[in-house]
Amino acid sequence: MRINWGQKTPLWLLLHIAPIKNERDVVVLFLLTFRDITALKQPIEAEDSKGTSTLYSKF
């Protein structure tokens, strides 16, 4: 998941969603965890760009 904060550098998050069930095996809520993976995303130059924008490698 990529989040943009205005004109600043994008924030990349790894999102994990897990259902939480009760004793009757019914989903009663979802647990969401976020991990900042921005440091793992290395900027790469787009081949067709003129240096004005960058792309990020896939995780």
Mean pLDDT for all residues in the chain = 77
Range of the domain at 31: 2-56
Number of domains in the chain: 1
Q: How much is the pLDDT for 59?
A: 47
- Parts of the chain with a pLDDT under 50: 59
Which pTM value belongs to this model? Answer: 0.54
Beta bridge partners of 17: 32
Q: Which two tokens stand for residue 50?
A: 């003129």
Distance spanning both ends of the chain, measured CA to CA: 10
CB 17 within 8 A of CB 9: no
